[in-house]
């Protein structure tokens, strides 16, 4: 049976941790882990391109398994999405994030950007509005800007329901970012309909800096497109000085990547963000 499951997984192109691949009911294992509080947030800094000042963070989920240690999200998020557990898992991640950031939020500099990855299924539920409201209620007005990252890979069909949902989210001050931009196939009218606020240029484009001229041409076209759309741009996967200079010269507003900081557990992230020596 395990061989068959593994084969099915391989055919579906879904990689998963052996814990899940060998479990007779992987979604029960995820549910157990959720109840045990094993899904925790890591924080990766988001910097302004000129000053490199930390102006926010993306929240990245990790599975802190009692025996296996830290499990990467690509090994369990696909299963969390297909089983529908991603919605309560994201809700729990937002709850933990608010609990960790709220006590120090007045020292984060105001308008601190908090990016949360949201699965398409979550955008099919009114609960998303409630989840965002609960998150924002943990803070004083203006302390944080909540930004929902929707991936371009998993195309969300805009309709009357999502129109109303995003209108309500915008009304609350929540921003929408289109993640992995350039890897999907969204049209201009699509971006307009979704009322996207930020575009996150996928790291595969940033990795083209320093490579061949044709690749650079593709990256430049993506940056030009962002400028024409008058959207704020975040480049992800910035790893070296050459990429930093290239993107800065082209007025990419915000940057994220190992050059500035890797995803960190809350205590380490906050120690740096608040510029205090680590405990």
> If contact means CB under 5 to 8 A according to the sort of partner, which of ligand C2E, Ca ion, none does residue 93 touch?
ligand C2E
Does 253 contact ligand C2E by CB under 6 A?
A: no
Does 56 contact ligand C2E by CB under 6 A?
A: no
Q: Smallest distance, Å, CB 24 to Ca ion?
A: 30
Among the candidate windows 23-31, 124-132, 226-234, 253-261, which touches ligand C2E by CB under 6 A?
Answer: 253-261
Q: Which of 44, 117, 143, 147 binds Ca ion (CB under 5 A)?
A: 117
107 or 162: whose CB is closer to ligand C2E?
Answer: 162
80 or 191: whose CB is closer to ligand C2E?
Answer: 80
Taken as a whole, the chain contains a residue count of 279
* Total of chain residues touching ligand C2E, rule CB under 6 A: 25
Does 128 contact ligand C2E by CB under 6 A?
A: no
Q: Smallest distance, Å, CB 117 to Ca ion?
A: 5
Does 261 contact ligand C2E by CB under 6 A?
A: no
Does 78 contact ligand C2E by CB under 6 A?
A: no
User: Pick from 32, 148, 134, 46: which is nearest to 89 by CA?
Assistant: 32
34 neighbors 88 (Cβ within 8 angstroms): yes
Does 20 contact ligand C2E by CB under 6 A?
A: no
> If contact means CB under 5 to 8 A according to the sort of partner, which of ligand C2E, Ca ion, none does residue 106 touch?
none
CA-angle at 134, arms to 132 and 138, nearest 5°: 115
> Pairing state of beta strands 112-117 and 198-201?
unpaired
Q: Smallest distance, Å, CB 119 to Ca ion?
A: 11
Site for Ca ion in 166-205 (CB under 5 A): 179-180
> If contact means CB under 5 to 8 A according to the sort of partner, which of Ca ion, ligand C2E, none does residue 60 touch?
ligand C2E
93 neighbors 39 (Cβ within 8 angstroms): yes
* Beta partners for residue 199, in sequence order: 178, 233
Does 152 contact ligand C2E by CB under 6 A?
A: no
Q: Which of 26, 56, 182, 237 binds ligand C2E (CB under 6 A)?
A: 237
Does 149 contact Ca ion by CB under 5 A?
A: yes
Q: Which residues contribute to the site for ligand C2E (CB under 6 A)?
A: 44, 60-61, 72-74, 77, 86, 90, 93, 117, 119, 149, 151, 179-180, 203, 236-239, 256-258, 263
Q: Which residues contribute to the site for Ca ion (CB under 5 A)?
A: 117, 149, 179-180
């Amino acid at each position: 049976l395990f061989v068959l499951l593994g084969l099915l997984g391989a055919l579906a192109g879904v990689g998963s941790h052996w814990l899940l691949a060998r479990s007779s009911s992987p979604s029960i294992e995820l549910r157990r882990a959720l109840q045990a509080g094993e899904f925790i947030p890591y924080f990766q800094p988001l910097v302004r391109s000129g000053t490199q000042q930390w102006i926010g963070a993306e929240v990245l989920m990790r599975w802190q398994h009692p025996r296996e240690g830290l499990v990467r999200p690509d090994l369990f998020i696909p299963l969390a999405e297909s089983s529908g557990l991603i919605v309560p898992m994201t809700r729990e991640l937002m709850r933990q994030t608010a609990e960790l950031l709220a006590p120090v939020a007045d020292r984060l500099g105001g308008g601190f950007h908090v990016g949360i990855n949201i699965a398409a299924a979550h955008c099919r539920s009114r609960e998303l509005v409630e989840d965002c409201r609960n998150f924002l209620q943990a803070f004083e007005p203006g302390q944080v800007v909540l930004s929902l990252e929707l991936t371009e890979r998993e195309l969300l069909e805009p309709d009357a329901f999502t129109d109303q949902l995003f209108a309500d989210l915008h009304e609350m001050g929540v921003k929408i970012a289109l993640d992995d931009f350039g890897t999907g196939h969204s049209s201009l009218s699509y971006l307009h309909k979704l009322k996207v606020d930020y575009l996150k240029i996928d790291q595969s484009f940033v990795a083209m800096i320093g490579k061949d001229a044709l690749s650079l041409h593709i990256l430049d076209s993506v940056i030009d497109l962002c400028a024409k759309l008058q959207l704020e741009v975040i480049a992800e996967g910035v790893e070296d000085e050459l990429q930093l200079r290239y993107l800065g010269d082209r007025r990419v507003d915000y940057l994220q990547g190992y050059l500035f900081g890797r995803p960190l557990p809350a205590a380490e992230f906050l120690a740096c963000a608040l510029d205090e020596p680590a405990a």
